[in-house]
Structure 1
Amino acid sequence: MKWFLTRPLLSAFCHKFSTMSSSGANPFVQFQASFTQDGNVYKYFDLPSIDSKYDSLPFSIRILLESAVRNCDNFHVLEKDVQSILGWNPSLKQGTSDVEIPFKPARVILHDTTGVPAVVDFAAMRDAVRDLGGNPEKINPICPAAMTIDHSIQVDFVRSADALTKNESLEFQRHKERFTFLKWGARAFDNLQILPPGAGIVHQVNLEYLAQMVFESDNSDGSKTIYPDSIVGTDSHTTMINGLGLLAWGVGGIEAEAVMLGQSVSMLLPEVIGYRLEGKLGPLVTSTDLVLTITKHLRQLGVIGKFVEFYGPGVAELSIADRATISNMCPEYGATVGFFPIDESTLSYMRQSNRSEKKIDITRQYLKATRQFRDYSREDQDPQFTESVTLDLSTVVSSVSGPKRPHDRVSASSMCEDFKSCLVSPVGFKGFAIPPSDLAAKGEFQWDDGKTYKIGHGSVVIAAITSCTNTSNPSVMLGAGLLAKNAVKKGLSVLPYIKTSLSPGSGVVTHYLRESGVIPYLEQLGFNIVGYGCMTCIGNSGPLDENVVNTIENNGLVCCGVLSGNRNFEGRIHPSTRANYLASPLLVIAYAIAGRVDIDFETEPLGVDSNGKEVFLRDIWPARSEIQDAEHKYVIPAMYQEVYSKITLGSRDWQTLEVSDSTLYPWNVNSTYIKLPPFMEGMTRELPKLKGVEKARCLLLLGDFVTTDHISPAGAIARNSPAARYLSERGLTPRDFNMYSSRRGHDAVMVRGCFANIRLVNKLASKIGSLTLHVPSGEEMNVFDAAQRYASEGTPLVLVAGKDYGSGSSRDWAAKGPFLLGVRAVIAESFERIHRSNLVNMGIIPLQFLPGQSAETLKLSGKEVYNIVLPVDDLKPGQRIQVDAGGNVFETTLRFDTEVDITYYKNGGILKYMVRKMLD
């Protein structure tokens, strides 16, 4: 039986997951309570009665506690784990506490980019179990998993009525083999659902449809068990659902696979930062402006690895969509979660999105009984926090963020001067180092309309309303539509060479935009619907016109992308847009009309109307009351019912895909999309003998804030890359190379694309890009070629990096790729949480420089021979590890943070651990 065909089925499977792993009686069963409604008995754990400390706990910690209590069997979850969570207190400080706790989420979500390698790994584990004499059918997800195919579609066609149809058709042509594999996986594995292409962005679908708030499941005695919904997902923006009051965060693909196989997430008990909101937003301010303000504030505060919980009377002023927008950007401000406890607004959203009244009543009863229901106006409900900060909503102003990082907020009124400053500032996150003599550089080209156009620094060439961040929010989407309507009526337009696009997060958005009558105006400005998925925001922006690209390159221009997404790291959106700014959908349209970012909206007009009168942004900006009226009128339950009643059907192309019914996947050795990975090659039932890292070389010497965009293969496969060389050798032409994201199920392609980012700064190389030094020979070469050469010489590798290594999106190939390159340890000043876990899960040792030390202070050149002394018989979390770099001996901290980390490492990674566990 497959799960998820209906919401009740989801609840039943999650309850099965919550109880099936228990090996002993639950010692907290005495604290079970119940209530009766409509003749049904609902059982739950009465958390407040367990300990008087409960009411002082943050609401997010209460959910961790409930999971531990419900799953306690003194095997997977111990009584001391429950006591540890109950012992949470404001004095807990990250780094000073080693309190490890398990967390079993109710379910897992994935998208196809991370989902394909997950299903490939499941298929490979089935082969490994068979080869070691076990039953491969044992390999199935235990915890329910849902995958939405939303990262495959690309913006190839724009500004036409058939752009959507053409992009979806091309998507299917490019990804047919992947889609066939995924449809096989949906049939072959129990408890795995695949939502077909065109269903929407996984986070928005999760918000509008999948989220349960609380689960109800049937017990053998006729009663029902209820407990909170909770999630881990293979996208760092899984946190978006925190806005609805569900505890959720992003994990690595491999860690998610472990949860799918019934394992708990091991974590350190977190600090919880209270973020108090008060006041009201101004009439011209959007939720996007608010989230960019919060992102900058919390990034400055420093919340990496911490929970952030929002409270205060200002929260009640925000819609669920507003809260979800803030929670979505949680990875950008660095926290594990940005949590909004459930309140009456949550229940109102349930009603608006077509959840049943019975479900709403049960949710209210359960959460109030367990004191997990919030009234933001009541200070007596405020829990204790590690630290509290306050934001007055009335101080928020219209904002954008950029040009290279999402937390570099700039007020829209300062944008013109800030961009000019960035042009001349030294190369960095806020600088391009353009010489004064080149500031006035211009280039011109001829367009299809026969006209000649000029562009310069600051010219907008991509304007995209995209990503789950904002497309889930009716206020900014309808606001954008109303602004477009006002602009068209004033006679304003967008220059034809600007690549404009609109990619909604679900079909619900299209419904209310259509019903409100704004789609024709959006289309007149070039914002046609081009697809349902994460498009421009993840680099699937498609090609720019060659005339535009050549003009940019020939004149050394800093041209811009403006998008309503959540990521704008350098090189991510498009190679030709060196500056990229995050903005609300309304400002995306405004900058598209202006054609440049160096504009002062207060003093400079967007254009002139038919009478020759100047039109300013303030003249077309819709009033908040107008937006709210449209939302109340057009965003209704019937739309959700219509869209989600058909969500599993898919297109005709999806419905007609023929797939095998076999238990084991029939690998095609000639495939360049799906390949049996080598992670389990040579595996035995017995644990391997461990040793330290001896006579290693440094593959890359990196600086601060190296993101997974720098590490993991992403974007188009460059024609001069090792991956292109590999594909050419197999008869493919450049037009068939496709994106790296489409080939994530093929390790030979992916490993060749690691560290292929055009903006990678490696201090061992003479220039920016995917280059490094093969130290013994002194030759500079591609990173992959250097790794291959080291492998042929039997030389293991290490990486040396600065602060925040592995920031950005959760990507399993950012760990899988280095492992296949031969990297056995990473030495960095600090690690991003998810990426550190992924390194451990792949068997790579994360070592952290001691406070105050770095590659610079230790005078490491990267040309040394590295020896890492690992006490293999006495490994302990967080112990000191000695590194000898060519006679330069220093100590580091072993970033195995838990005993589980050590267990995974001893097994050679989590996949081998799970295979051995299934065999046992």
Structure 2
Amino acid sequence: MKDTFSVRDTLEVNGQRHVFASLAKLGQRYDLKRLPYSLKILLENLLRHEDGVDVTAKEIEAIAKWDAKAEPATEIAFMPARVVLQDFTGVPCVVDLAAMRDAVVKLGGDATQINPLAPAELVIDHSVQVDVYGTESALEQNVAIEFERNQERYSFLRWGQKAFNNFKVVPPRTGIVHQVNLEHLARVVFTADIGGESWAYPDTVFGTDSHTTMINGLGVLGWGVGGIEAEAAMLGQPSSMLIPQVVGFKLTGKLGEGVTATDLVLTVTQMLRKLGVVGKFVEFFGNGLKHLPLADRATIGNMAPEYGATCGIFPIDQEALNYMQLSGRSAAQIRLVEAYAKAQGMWHDENSPTSEYTTTLELDLADVRPSMAGPKRPQDRVLLEGVQQSFHDVVGALTANRRPKNGAVAAFANEGGATAIGNPANAIGETGVLVEKDGESFRVGDGSVVIAAITSCTNTSNPAVMLGAGIVAKKAAAKGLKAKPWVKTSIGPGSKVVSDYLEQTGLLKELEKINFYIVGYGCTTCIGNSGPLPVEISKGIADGDLAVASVLSGNRNFEGRVHPEVKMNYLASPPLVVAYALAGTLDIDLTKDSIGTGNDGKPVYLKDIWPSNQEISDAIAGAINPAMFEKNYADVFKGDSRWNQIASPDGAVYRWNDSTYIKNPPYFDGMTMALGKVEDIHGARALGVFGDSITTDHISPAGSIKKDSPAGRFLIEKGVQPKDFNSYGSRRGNDDVMVRGTFANIRIKNLMLDNVEGGYTLHVPSGEQLAIYDAAVKYKASHTPLVVLAGKEYGTGSSRDWAAKGTLLLGVKAVIAESFERIHRSNLVGMGVLPCTFKDGQNAQTLGLTGRETFDVTGLDDGNSKEATVTATAADGSRKQFSVNVMLLTPKEREFFRHGGILQYVLRQLAGKKAA
């Protein structure tokens, strides 16, 4: 630490002396009281890492003098204290580290140079699928299937756990990464030995899942990054970023009767999406915080990717300490957090000064009303009384080209108003497709809810909504109601603590009475791990070409994500998930229509089974205690006998084999110590032309692998049977599988083709319609570079590094879009794919581009130019020329790009040190 500003100080807590970078000392020169909480954390990070090279006095002063209204212009180097990984994104990180060990040896270095320098903790939570549901044995059966499917991956992770220093694995059947992070991994204030002294500093984190921001609810600054950026952080490389603008969100009042944290977060998401906060920090303040439990704050923080912000953070206050105590943190750690926060001016109470913000929003919590979001975006909030109309508004378009099979009669719910499908007294009416299952006959039609899932850390971390769902179930069961037979029901708790308090209150049994059983501990439905629908239901959907629905308490409802056969997906609180499972349809107004008929022959309404706030408070008070957390996290890295019996190799260098799960990737093939140049692009073809809101779900392989897809054909050639395909997510460690699934989403629409859905494109030279992968192979054979053209918000969604990796491996040199999501743009840079944006008001359509042209991108000036010229030449020789913005935003990004990516940069640095 260079300490230009003489901020080194000491703090004694618990009888131990800690060194820290004092903001109070710096505050003698600058007015830091006006700084938002999150910028104080960034400022401390720079002070502690000042070295005169990556961090200089100039950057420190830029934050100290922060202009709230100015456009971001100053680059800083941020170094998180730790990295947290989930297994879908974490396995490729460990694969890359293993590949880097091979590569650094070839460059003259030592394999053991490649180790996480910052603590890295991986939680295996994305591998469980809902194969079995509706039975007490669902959990055990799904876990058994999970271990059978993922032996190779788990063996590899166990190797990594032994081979790498500073790397720990939380085994399967423990919980969702973000909830484990919240309940156990987060330190809030870190301590570490640096140069023989104990230093104290804020806990900051990068996560390989965009919902890492859930930890913001506990006052920890962190956000989701791509696996590439996470690997760089693990290897000691700071992340380049611009000092952000900070939006203040003032909360006042308290939530009303019957309103949940889910209703609140959907309201906040809609408000912030409307404002526009991409690339900005959002910070919550105001007297409403005292009425907002930590779990509610975590719910709001979790959804930061959905409202587009880098983070959605709350300050450290008494509620944060209360949660630390509840979750079993030590008294010594809690004292350290309080003392450090107060010493640094990071403590929040009613006497805290109001910070300056770039702009401010305000919400009276009393104004929040019961809501859902759908049918395909988290920001599309609909009031509960408007859900039925929302369904009517969209179903027509979804069924316009319907082709029923086998003489099936399908429901047209928006013809002449509501049909009998929405009349619970008449089951699902006389429309739809007749289905027979388990001895029952019923009709499934448009709007039928075929998946009702209490899932995702967004809500399963929150006792109020989980216990609220249990109370709804209890009251419904008492009246003789249960989930409709066509609904696939599930509970995927975020941690074992959740099931403990559901059991202790007796509410788990009540949920089971209406067919909601625990199916696994991990991320299920909102990541697409919803598992297969019953064959009878699938057949009915296919026969009627039906537009069916899911209702889930998750955070993601993008097209094609939840289940390929489900066209409408609505986010809702866990109690509402239960209610819709009972109703079985979206074609109902739950605020006034009856859900069903009770065992007394009378109609049952939502108000009859909805819990009061007092009922929920009473349940929480008697249900949760620190002992639950201490018991469940005592040996969290140890795992059960099933985990510990998995065989894994030893040694510093991984012994690659012919696995279809784990493969040495080609990123470092032929790499030398020589630095490359950023070359202009000539004679490129368009691999695809896309519209707005193309998400990483559309780009990155996810969900099931179809046997007739390029990836399916590859696996069959390798001797893998379709029943053993598993999911794309589970095979993220094999580039041969993943590149074949890139841009293969069943709902993606390539505008180069007319009325074609799915991962297809036009191979322009031959005029053939081909799978995108197959076209890319043809272009590669003719040494033709590729570009992608797209609209607004390209790459929104999860921080999937494979959206960038797959793009690179297909041969794409540049992506030209109207705008990018922050993480995906960074990931493209990190993989050596050039991101560019059209000038304001321009896009492929306004420029008259069809994708059939050849493209030259010139004037890049080795990556230094902020603009480039694109020349599009049509088949008749006519040309269109336009300028684009080159989105290499910082000097460090330009340096990474010249190296071919972040990992190549790190490798050359390490190998160079060894050679020197």
Is TM-score (shorter-chain normalized) higher than 0.5? yes
- Give the 5 Å matches for 1:898-909: 898-909=890-901
Q: Could you tell me how far apart the structure 1 residues matched to 2:127 and 2:772 are?
A: 27
Q: Could you tell me how far apart the structure 2 residues matched to 1:809 and 1:31 are?
A: 38
Q: Could you tell me how far apart the structure 2 residues matched to 1:206 and 1:342 are?
A: 17
Residue 882 (structure 2) aligned to one of 879, 883, 890: 890
Match of 2:338, SS? helix
Say whether the 8 Å CA contact 2:433–2:543 is kept in structure 1.
no
Asked if 1:824 corresponds to 2:798, the answer is no
TM-aligned CA deviation for residue 433 of structure 1:
11
Asked if 1:541 corresponds to 2:530, the answer is yes
Match of 2:333, SS? helix
Asked if 1:911 corresponds to 2:903, the answer is yes
TM-aligned CA deviation for residue 437 of structure 1:
8.9
Residue 459 (structure 1) aligned to one of 448, 469, 476: 448
Asked if 1:510 corresponds to 2:482, the answer is no
TM-aligned CA deviation for residue 99 of structure 1:
1.1
Q: Which amino acid aligns with 1:893?
A: N
Asked if 1:31 corresponds to 2:7, the answer is yes
2:559 equivalent in structure 1: 570
TM-aligned CA deviation for residue 110 of structure 1:
0.6
Say whether the 8 Å CA contact 2:868–2:886 is kept in structure 1.
yes
Q: Could you tell me how far apart the structure 1 residues matched to 2:718 and 2:20 are?
A: 58
TM-aligned CA deviation for residue 212 of structure 1:
0.7
Say whether the 8 Å CA contact 1:444–1:452 is kept in structure 2.
no
Residue 805 (structure 1) aligned to one of 794, 798, 812: 794
Q: Could you tell me how far apart the structure 2 residues matched to 1:859 and 1:259 are?
A: 42
- State the Cα deviation string for residues 446-478 of structure 1 (Å, max 9, x = none): 434322110111111000000010000011111
- State the Cα deviation string for residues 166-192 of structure 1 (Å, max 9, x = none): 000000000000000011011111111
- Give the 5 Å matches for 1:480-495: 480-495=469-484
**Bigger shift: residues 124-133 or 587-596:** 124-133
2:408 equivalent in structure 1: none
2:303 equivalent in structure 1: 329
1:17 equivalent in structure 2: none
1:244 equivalent in structure 2: 218
Q: Which amino acid aligns with 2:380?
A: D
Match of 2:332, SS? helix
Q: Could you tell me how far apart the structure 2 residues matched to 1:61 and 1:716 are?
A: 42
- Give the 5 Å matches for 1:85-234: 85-93=63-71, 97-218=72-193, 224-234=198-208
TM-aligned CA deviation for residue 217 of structure 1:
3.0
TM-aligned CA deviation for residue 436 of structure 1:
4.2
Residue 361 (structure 1) aligned to one of 331, 335, 338: 335
Q: Which amino acid aligns with 1:781?
A: L
Q: Which amino acid aligns with 2:798?
A: S
Q: Could you tell me how far apart the structure 2 residues matched to 1:882 and 1:373 are?
A: 50
- Give the 5 Å matches for 1:361-400: 361-375=335-349, 377-378=350-351, 381-400=353-372
Q: Could you tell me how far apart the structure 1 residues matched to 2:140 and 2:705 are?
A: 25
Residue 849 (structure 1) aligned to one of 830, 838, 849: 838
1:53 equivalent in structure 2: 31
Q: Could you tell me how far apart the structure 1 residues matched to 2:656 and 2:413 are?
A: 51
Q: Could you tell me how far apart the structure 1 residues matched to 2:98 and 2:560 are?
A: 33
Change (3 A) 1:438 1:154: farther
Q: Could you tell me how far apart the structure 1 residues matched to 2:11 and 2:76 are?
A: 30
1:591 equivalent in structure 2: 580
1:635 equivalent in structure 2: 624
- Give the 5 Å matches for 1:461-476: 461-476=450-465
Change (3 A) 1:658 1:80: same
**Bigger shift: residues 862-871 or 602-611:** 602-611
1:3 equivalent in structure 2: none
Q: Is there any run of 5+ residues in structure 1 with no aligned partner, and where?
A: 1-21
Change (3 A) 1:683 1:739: same
**Bigger shift: residues 491-500 or 507-516:** 491-500
Residue 56 (structure 2) aligned to one of 68, 78, 91: 78
**Bigger shift: residues 211-220 or 137-146:** 211-220
1:684 equivalent in structure 2: 672
Match of 1:170, SS? helix
2:422 equivalent in structure 1: none
Residue 66 (structure 1) aligned to one of 31, 41, 44: 44
Asked if 1:294 corresponds to 2:268, the answer is yes
Say whether the 8 Å CA contact 1:288–1:583 is kept in structure 2.
yes
Say whether the 8 Å CA contact 1:691–1:870 is kept in structure 2.
no
TM-aligned CA deviation for residue 202 of structure 1:
0.6
Q: Could you tell me how far apart the structure 2 residues matched to 1:197 and 1:235 are?
A: 17
**Bigger shift: residues 405-414 or 79-88:** 79-88
RMSD: 1.7
Say whether the 8 Å CA contact 1:425–1:433 is kept in structure 2.
no
2:867 equivalent in structure 1: 880
Match of 1:462, SS? strand
TM-aligned CA deviation for residue 413 of structure 1:
1.3
1:43 equivalent in structure 2: 19
Q: Could you tell me how far apart the structure 2 residues matched to 1:427 and 1:850 are?
A: 37
TM-aligned CA deviation for residue 349 of structure 1:
0.5
Say whether the 8 Å CA contact 2:435–2:444 is kept in structure 1.
no
Q: Which amino acid aligns with 1:390?
A: E
- State the Cα deviation string for residues 475-502 of structure 1 (Å, max 9, x = none): 1111111111111111111122310000
Q: Could you tell me how far apart the structure 2 residues matched to 1:614 and 1:348 are?
A: 43
Change (3 A) 1:810 1:483: same
Q: Could you tell me how far apart the structure 1 residues matched to 2:70 and 2:640 are?
A: 51
Say whether the 8 Å CA contact 2:678–2:860 is kept in structure 1.
no
Say whether the 8 Å CA contact 2:14–2:335 is kept in structure 1.
no
Say whether the 8 Å CA contact 1:26–1:71 is kept in structure 2.
no
Q: Could you tell me how far apart the structure 2 residues matched to 1:395 and 1:859 are?
A: 46
Say whether the 8 Å CA contact 1:403–1:581 is kept in structure 2.
yes
Q: Could you tell me how far apart the structure 2 residues matched to 1:685 and 1:409 are?
A: 52
TM-aligned CA deviation for residue 53 of structure 1:
2.0
Change (3 A) 1:220 1:679: closer
TM-aligned CA deviation for residue 435 of structure 1:
8.1
Q: Which amino acid aligns with 1:405?
A: R
Q: Which amino acid aligns with 2:135?
A: S
TM-aligned CA deviation for residue 219 of structure 1:
5.9
Match of 2:19, SS? strand
Q: Which amino acid aligns with 1:881?
A: A
TM-aligned CA deviation for residue 38 of structure 1:
4.0
Q: Could you tell me how far apart the structure 2 residues matched to 1:214 and 1:692 are?
A: 47
- State the Cα deviation string for residues 234-292 of structure 1 (Å, max 9, x = none): 10000000011000101111011000000111111111011001111111000000000
Asked if 1:781 corresponds to 2:770, the answer is yes
Match of 1:634, SS? coil
Match of 2:104, SS? helix
Q: Could you tell me how far apart the structure 2 residues matched to 1:755 and 1:343 are?
A: 45
Change (3 A) 1:242 1:38: closer
TM-aligned CA deviation for residue 438 of structure 1:
12
Match of 1:381, SS? coil
TM-aligned CA deviation for residue 689 of structure 1:
4.2
Asked if 1:764 corresponds to 2:760, the answer is no
Q: Could you tell me how far apart the structure 2 residues matched to 1:261 and 1:273 are?
A: 32
Asked if 1:732 corresponds to 2:704, the answer is no
Change (3 A) 1:553 1:687: same
Q: Could you tell me how far apart the structure 2 residues matched to 1:345 and 1:784 are?
A: 51
1:525 equivalent in structure 2: 514
Change (3 A) 1:514 1:89: same
Change (3 A) 1:438 1:632: closer
Residue 581 (structure 1) aligned to one of 559, 570, 587: 570
